[in-house]
Amino acid sequence: MTEKEYALKNVGKNVYSEGTAYAASKENIEQENLKKNIINGKAVILHNKDKNKFVGIGKGLTTKINASIGTSTNHINIEEEIRKAVIAEKSGADTLMELSVGGDLDLIRREVLANTSLPVGTVPLYQAFREAIDAYKNPVKMPEELVFDVIEKQCADGISFMAIHSGLNMMSLERLKKQSYRYAGLVSKGGAYMIAWMIENNKENPLYERFEDVLKILKKYDTVLSLGNGLRAGATADSFDRAYMQELLINCELCDIARDYGVQVIVEGPGHIPIDEIEANVKIQKKMSGDAPFYVLGPLVTDVAAGYDHISSAIGGALSSSFGADFLCYVTPAEHLGLPSEEDVAIGVKSAKIAAHIGDMIKLKKTDDDLNISKARRDVDWEGQFRHSIDPEYSRSIFESKNNKDEIAGCSMCGEFCAPLRVKKYFRYEIKQGKKA
């Protein structure tokens, strides 16, 4: 029974699933409100492989962070990917996506699952096309049954959510053809390979044509459906083009079908998008999908930040979250340049955590840590500053590397000219007009 089915079964009862109870307790929210949002498809609960850890995503919940790892055909190192998984979890990621395309994909996936307590997601098309290349030397010769076999196998291993490219059908492909031009072309690996398969075989995408078969498998394992964005924009100039909008429209229709089937579902979004279009992007997705959880890939707000795309993504992610996006896929400094290193993974997660927090300050009015760290700075309370920062260990290490704690009460930035220390004796910061001291 899926989380959605369990919630529906217990409407009007003071009965909650383990996942709902876990997520509500962790986020200090009412279980009944979360259950209602699960029933209405406005929130989902992901479980990890062992079903002892749950992550809630959607309405009324904090913005979550995904970290993507995985081999390429040019770089295959299972031990390195396991280390990346461990680093991502330690750095604060809420979920992982295992996106390997090189090496023994079953072994890599199972090793990652064995070495993290986080829910793990995949893109099953990657493995299906990889196996087709290995077997037939050509991805377009993939038998359509193969992708369903891969979905089943990955779900059975304990995969928690899957990016399924069902919205990429003949209708959306026609929009792409008639549009005729894109500055960045296609940037989704799964989307590009599926389009090639459809054109070469002159057949409909089986993930769309046999969508009910997809749902049957996901429902069996309560694997959350993430409706993939195969036509997402890879350039800010391509944002909101007709091809992207057509796929989004289809995905929102499929979202309704999945809900009615009892499957938990989220919808994916861009991609590259100009900063002034982010609010519209979130609101359109929310409106068309009936407020389904929105999983944004970045988004990147400029195309020129190679080497610094984690910053571009953090800007886009913060705004997306503030307008209502629920789930951010991190971007690392290596985006557009190469496979991320272990250090890149840590930087990507921490950048996305900052973005999520900024968004939650607006969306959920979560400002307690900001108020507490501000008071600690006012009082020159270094331990308080470390405790309430996004990365206490890192902020402490910077402080200790730049200051001699035996000689200075403030820090080396201002030294004797420390403003809080200079005026502290003249003022008392008390509660006024309902504001906390």
Q: Which of 375, 258, 281, 273 is nearest to 315 (CA)?
A: 273
- Decide: 225 and 182 in contact? Cβ < 8 Å: no
State the average pLDDT over residues 34-62: 97
pLDDT of the residue at 430 = 61
Name 167's Cβ contacts closer than 8 Å, sequence gap at least 6.
Answer: 208, 227, 228, 229, 230, 247, 248, 250, 251, 254
Reduced to 3 states (helix: H, G, I; strand: E, B; else coil), residue 98 is strand
- Decide: 20 and 34 in contact? Cβ < 8 Å: yes
pLDDT of the residue at 427 = 83
pLDDT of the residue at 431 = 55
> What does the DSSP assignment read for 199-268?
HHHT---HHHHTHHHHHHHHHHHTPEEEE--TT--SSGGGTT-HHHHHHHHHHHHHHHHHHHHT--EEEE
β-strand partners of 64: 327
pLDDT of the residue at 109 = 98
pLDDT of the residue at 408 = 62
- Decide: 183 and 142 in contact? Cβ < 8 Å: no
pLDDT, tens digit, 9 for 90 and up, residues 358-415: 999 999 999 999 999 999 999 999 999 999 999 999 999 999 999 987 766 788 898 8
- Decide: 289 and 248 in contact? Cβ < 8 Å: no
The amino acid present at 190, given as its one-letter code, is G
State the average pLDDT over residues 208-237: 97
- Report residue 406 as tokens: 């035996």
Domains assigned to the chain: 49-363 (3.20.20.540), 368-426 (no CATH)
What whole-number distance in Å separates Cα of residue 163 and Cα of residue 190?
Answer: 9
What whole-number distance in Å separates Cα of residue 321 and Cα of residue 378?
Answer: 29
- Decide: 243 and 231 in contact? Cβ < 8 Å: yes
Asked whether residue 139 carries a pLDDT value surpassing 90, the answer given is yes
Asked whether residue 354 carries a pLDDT value surpassing 60, the answer given is yes
- The reported pTM is 0.95
